[in-house]
Structure 1
């Protein structure tokens, strides 16, 4: 795992100082304060992992509220240039490595291809302004998928993710490929999303994700983790459509909440995201479990 940035180190250092004071004072409330500290650190690190998407969403909201309508630079072009600047700063300040940037660029390409198709068939639409675009798709749209990729690669090492009974990667790749194809093919043939959802449950159902927040490691069924992230993206999508960065057909006459049906689409998209990141960071078992480096080392010592 790569070294922490100054922000992450500061979060842990401040939490350590706080808990050391709590322990030194003693008292029955120490356990609850320790748990609350773990929760606060979890929230802070999650927010830090979302920095790409949060900054991009902040720019989208700012454009909706304050960008002048008669500006020489179209709002969509401003969003694209802002997204490029955020991405450059992420690399310059070493919040992302060049290795991670490759998979984030792949997210960008995969997302842009889907955007080109989906806008063509009328699934959603963008304002027709600006020159930094491919057809009806402004280039900033790909950065929204890249923001998901950025979160995935950052949370992987930020929480030192480990996986118990992670499925074989070639199997997950087949499921992800089926999901991606279905995003296109369901416009012409049967929609297999429920079949694909069943496949995801079958493939990942036994997998448990282990993660370190601060002092302790926790565990969670990976399917629940997928659902929570998809729910968070769905909330962000509601903000994006309210900002009129893009609109679904039922929002053209006036904004309304994004259909909850989109939550399933984001859940399935999560599988594509996880598979792409798994080719950068190979999923490893928890420390001390059978097959992990520490378990192998311990076995050799016993021999």
Structure 2
């Protein structure tokens, strides 16, 4: 029994590693570009070039499908829009020069958000994810819009972050994610999965800022750990990415997303 559990765990770790291919490529590029310079090619432009080639390679090798690329592109644009606004407001900055830098934001930054969507898409197919007791589409859409809008409006009005998080707990209190490593199906509360992914993204954010991917105002003089409060921001962004994927999956594979409004077949 223990041997089977160890085998199951090792396969789980291996699949998780495969799900993280795109994020790992970005981290490796951030690390290597910190110590390796190419004449006449600014670091941010090099990172963008690697991200584009990596995305092409993932689709070409069929590790990502064209449909998944569409989802990733949507989240890339969502992230880029957020970056332009936040940098303008001074929430963080990109201090290095680059050719592909607009409004103080290098275009490669959108790929960091896209890598989150890439992870979600990879995990969906590698672990055969099924969403149980998922909220109705209009509720999920409305909450996603409110979460994304709050990232912009809290600079001028009340920050509804904790109100929205409370609403998420109410909306998802019954929801679970079913996943399969080999043959046995496991269940995890949806909110727990959101929190775990957000925590690991926060860890990745600390590595990214240490490698100079961007800087927060309190990191201008010397690097320091990213504030714990950022976990809540990633928590909500993770939810947006999963909701986008879930709604697209609902259209193509409705059996993978079980909502209260889905009609179950009546027993004869």
Matches within 5 A, 1:41-52: 41-52=11-22
The offset of 1:285, in angstroms, is: 5.6
Per-residue CA deviations over 1:279-302 (Å, capped at 9, x if unaligned) read: 221264699xxx79xx85x95xxx
Residue 33 in 1 paired to residue 3 in 2?
A: yes
Q: Aligned residues, how many?
A: 262
Q: Which residue of 2 aligns with 1:171?
A: 139
Unaligned runs of 5+ in 2: none
The offset of 1:71, in angstroms, is: 2.5
Residue 109 in 1 paired to residue 70 in 2?
A: no
TM-score scaled by length of structure 1:
0.83
Matches within 5 A, 1:89-100: 89-100=57-68
Per-residue CA deviations over 1:129-187 (Å, capped at 9, x if unaligned) read: 11112220001000001100111111111111112211112101111100000000000
- In structure 2, relative to structure 1, the CA distance for the partners of 1:72 and 1:217 (3 Å cut) is same
**Divergent runs of 4+, >4 A:** none
- Higher relative contact order, chain-length normalized (CA < 8 Å, sep 6+): 2
Residue 215 in 1 paired to residue 183 in 2?
A: yes
SS in 1 for 2:91: coil
The offset of 1:246, in angstroms, is: 0.2
Whole-angstrom CA distance in 1 between matches of 2:103 and 2:91 = 15
SS in 2 for 1:220: strand
After superposing the two structures, state which structure 1 stretch, 153-162 or 234-243, moved more.
153-162
Matches within 5 A, 1:1-303: 31-64=1-34, 66-68=35-37, 71-282=39-250, 284=255, 296=265, 299=267, 303=268
The offset of 1:223, in angstroms, is: 0.4
Whole-angstrom CA distance in 2 between matches of 1:82 and 1:286 = 34
SS in 1 for 2:16: helix
Kept in 2: contact 1:210–1:286 (CA 8 A): no
Kept in 2: contact 1:100–1:280 (CA 8 A): no
After superposing the two structures, state which structure 1 stretch, 114-123 or 52-61, moved more.
52-61
The offset of 1:124, in angstroms, is: 0.4
SS in 1 for 2:26: helix
TM-score scaled by length of structure 2:
0.93
SS in 2 for 1:209: strand
- In structure 2, relative to structure 1, the CA distance for the partners of 1:284 and 1:227 (3 Å cut) is farther
Kept in 1: contact 2:198–2:238 (CA 8 A): yes
Per-residue CA deviations over 1:217-245 (Å, capped at 9, x if unaligned) read: 10010100000000110011001000011
Kept in 2: contact 1:52–1:151 (CA 8 A): yes
